Structure 1
Amino acid sequence: MASKSNEFLFEQRAYIKIRSLLGDTPRNIYQDLVLVYGGEACSESTVKKWSLRFREDRVSAKDEPRIGQPIIATTANNIALVAEMCDSDPHITIERLAISLTLSAGSVDAILTKHLSMSKVCSRWVPHLLNQTKKKTQ
Structure 2
Amino acid sequence: MSDKILEQRINIAFCVKIGNSASETLAQLTVAYGEYPLKKSSLFERHRRLREGRESVQDDPRSGQPETQRTDANVDRVGALVRSDRRLGVRLIAEDLDMNKETLRHIITEDLGMRQISAKMVPRILTDDQKQRRIHISSDLIHNAEMFDRVIAVRKRGTRIVYERAFLMQLRNSPIARTPPKNYPNFPASLMKGVDIPKENANIIPSPTKKDAVSEEPQDQFQMEI
TM-score by length of 2: 0.33
- When Rg is computed on C-alpha atoms for both structures, the one with the higher figure is 2
Larger % of helix: which? 1
Q: Which has the higher contact order (CA 8 A, sep 6+)?
A: 1
